[in-house]
Amino acid sequence: MSWAERMIRHRRWVLVVWLIVIMVGGFWARNVTHHLTATGFDNPRSAAVWADHQMSHLSNRASVEPLLIQKVGYHSVLTWARRYDIPRTWVHPTGPDAFTVVPARTVKPSRLMPLATLATNHGALITWVSPVSVADKVIGDSRATLAASLPVALPFLIVLLLLVFGSVVAAMLPLVVAGIGGIVALGALDQIENAFTLSTYLTDIVSFLALGVGVDYALFISARFRQGLTTGKAPAAAVIEAMQRAGRSVAFSGLAVALAILTLFLGGNPYWRGIAIGGAVAVVSVLAVTHTLLPVLLDMLGERINWGRVTIANAFQGFWPAVGGWIRRHPLLAIAAAVVVLGFPAAYARQVVMHNPANIAMMLPRHDPLRRSVEAQQRAWGPGTIAPVLVVMHLRHPLTGTASWTQVRQITTRLASDPRVLSVASPTKLGLPPAALAAIAAGKLHQPNVSKVLASFINLKNNSHLATLFVTSRYGPDNSRTMALVTHIQKQLRVWLPGQRTGVGGITAMLNGFNQLTLSRLPWILAAVALVALGVLFSATGSLWQAALGVGFDALVALATAGILVLTVQHGGLGLEAEPLNASIVPLIFVLLFGLSMDYEVILLHRVQELWQRGTAMKDAAADALSMTGGMITGAGMIMVVVFIALLLSPLEVLKTFAIGLTTAIMLDTWIVRSLLVPGSIVAIGRSAFWPSRRRLARPEEAFNTTPAHSPSPAQAKKS
């Protein structure tokens, strides 16, 4: 008894179990964003993580923060500022009805509190400008993307599904499957995020991935089910046939996507592990729905799946048979055309530059008041003041002795002498000699004010050997000179303090480490993805030829996608702000490309094999398979494109990069690779195309009708 037969026989239990799963998953999914974080980019084994951890034991350094005042006029802000003797030069317009007060760095942190209170009492919106408030804004914009994008994408999805299926029920079924898969995935993530660090971008990625693959998988299976019904099969028999054919292809495709995403574990930090877990959970959730609930729903619907027929004049009815016939006659020309289309953007792939911005405000839109507030702060205080570099030293002698303070003073002087350094915050700049600082640290000299300041540099309760300095660069945190300064300090500390543990922390050092780690691990990730694709394709087809060609074609699409990202995001095309590609998103695009391409590759190759094993010549099998599946594959691709392109509504350029990358990859994969390159290569290679797999002529009882409900037969395709 097949799996589909078991599901149908026990369909009441299947429905009951899924009803419970949906209710529990929906309840959990409501809270999925509560523990997501914008952090997790650190390398757990790096010195930067150790340095930041030591910082957590110190008292917070008292520092003044700029004040963003919104929903109020300029005159009102100036009037309030004069009341509290705040100079007009401190007030900077940072947007429509938005003004930022950037005080002098030397004023007390409490200086702006009366102004903030007064503005709040008059209905103004108050935001203290800090890395925390900026990160919260990024998280909020990311969460808002899901709410804004899905309502926009759904109408287009419905129209496309109606065009593909031609009936209301058949069009709605994939949306039901995808929606259930997404609910289950988000509910599972709500439980997983208690044990793992998961990124704030994960809800968008998981929701849209579940929607995309859910619609595609349900489309492939339900289309094959409808074909079975047209041949006179009973609903149960049509379901079993659909699951044996399309369901098998979908299982291989889903396995490829899930394993491909899991290769991101090689990224080596919590962020990539979280993305790997979240993406794999999304795909597995959808597979669970398509292979348990969907067969039951199809059996229950039966002929009713064609209810609500929509009559659509199909002007392209002969398009795919014509393309298949042309490729059968001119396979080398089809291959050459595909290589030219992919080769042009691929030439720009070598220009790719990737890194995550240390200035988190750069992730916000260029006209966002909070980002403009950070820019005003940089102009007033200096570009590097928003992200000081943390220097932590574990000294050989305790700070209760003079020797260690002498070392701290020497290192402070050396750091300050670097032309790239604007300032160094150090306890040795308090104007006290090393002996006095040692006496205060030892409790022998009582000076409460100095002791309070020292608490932000040292913590004698936890470790009397640790000293901390704060270095401010003259340049912005993402400037190459600042990143070079961080590397220089890391190297020099090993020279100045040989054999002693040191670390350079702060967001600049952390993200610099993330960028270096990601770039160093990316070749291994891509190699692992290629091996996954190779293994899945070989398992699915039994052909080394097709497995190797599939990986090669995907690599070409990846290069072309990288080139288009260079021309758009990196060079500032399509109205985007020119900036390096985000290192936290681009590797994910490449991994998903290899995984998602397996959907269309396996569907097409399985149909070619099916025809070939029934006795059709290889070149005819390739052409006929394309005529049968071309519309479905490109339609599924366009559905996936609509899902991801909705992310362009996000104000965050990082999510727009994700949308552009995946949209480009899917379009090139479906319209160029699967429509020209794959069938062209099969026709060109001929009977050895599936080597070492051998032809096996199907017995009469195994022969399935492979003609789609709305497509011409192979014989009709030849005539056209």
Same domain as 471, residue 607: no
The CA distance from 425 to 428, in Å, is 9
Predicted confidence at residue 34, as pLDDT, reads 59
- CA distances in angstroms from 232 to 222, 225, 607, 620, listed in the order given: 16, 11, 21, 26
The CA distance from 672 to 323, in Å, is 12
> Does residue 500 belong to any structural domain of this protein?
yes
> Does residue 311 belong to any structural domain of this protein?
no
- Dig out the tokens for 315 from the structure: 């002007």
- Dig out the tokens for 664 from the structure: 């480009």
Same domain as 198, residue 141: yes
Last residue of a domain, one of 479, 511, 543: 511
Alpha-carbon dihedral sign for residues 8, 9, 12, 15: negative
> Does residue 416 belong to any structural domain of this protein?
yes
Q: How far is CA 707 from the centre of its chain?
A: 38
Predicted confidence at residue 200, as pLDDT, reads 67
Span between the terminal Cα atoms of the chain, in Å: 41
| 3-state DSSP assignment of residue 67 | strand
Which of the residue ranges 176-180, 671-675, 709-713 would you say has the lowest mean pLDDT?
Answer: 709-713
In three state form, how does the secondary structure of 11-78 look?
HHHHHHHHHHHHHHHHHHHCCCCCCCECCCCCCCCCHHHHHHHHHCCCCCCCCCCCEEEECCCHHHHH
Percent of the chain with pLDDT over 70: 93
pLDDT 10s digits, 608-662: 998 998 889 999 999 999 999 998 899 888 988 988 888 888 888 888 999 999 9
Predicted confidence at residue 513, as pLDDT, reads 86
**CATH code (residue 337):** 1.20.1640.10
Residue for token digits 């003609």?
Answer: 707
Predicted confidence at residue 300, as pLDDT, reads 95
> Does residue 35 belong to any structural domain of this protein?
no
pLDDT 10s digits, 511-521: 888 888 899 99
pLDDT 10s digits, 375-410: 999 999 999 999 999 999 999 999 999 999 999 999
Average pLDDT, the chain: 88
Percent of the chain with pLDDT over 90: 61
Predicted confidence at residue 37, as pLDDT, reads 60
Of 671, 678, 706, which is closest to residue 319 (Cα–Cα)? Answer: 671
> Does residue 662 belong to any structural domain of this protein?
yes
Is residue 567's pLDDT more than 80?
A: yes
Last residue of a domain, one of 81, 103, 128: 128
Is residue 713's pLDDT more than 50?
A: no
Q: Kind and range of the H or E element at 207?
A: helix 202-230
Same domain as 183, residue 76: no
Predicted confidence at residue 693, as pLDDT, reads 78
Of 643, 666, 646, 665, which is closest to residue 656 (Cα–Cα)? Answer: 646
- CA distances in angstroms from 229 to 205, 244, 705, listed in the order given: 36, 15, 10
Predicted confidence at residue 399, as pLDDT, reads 93
Other CB atoms closer than 10 Å to residue 118's CB: what's the count?
17
- Dig out the tokens for 448 from the structure: 């409460």
Last residue of a domain, one of 511, 539, 561: 511
Predicted confidence at residue 138, as pLDDT, reads 87
DSSP letter for 468, please: E
Is residue 154's pLDDT more than 50?
A: yes
Predicted confidence at residue 473, as pLDDT, reads 97
Predicted confidence at residue 266, as pLDDT, reads 93
What is the domain range of residue 465? 369-374+381-511
Which of the residue ranges 105-114, 454-463, 677-686 would you say has the lowest mean pLDDT?
Answer: 454-463
- Dig out the tokens for 109 from the structure: 């942190």
Is residue 312's pLDDT more than 90?
A: no
Same domain as 138, residue 117: no
Residue 506 CB partners (closer than 8 Å, separation 6+)? 48, 51, 52, 387, 388, 389, 390
Q: How many domains does the chain contain in total?
A: 3
Residue for token digits 């100045």?
Answer: 496
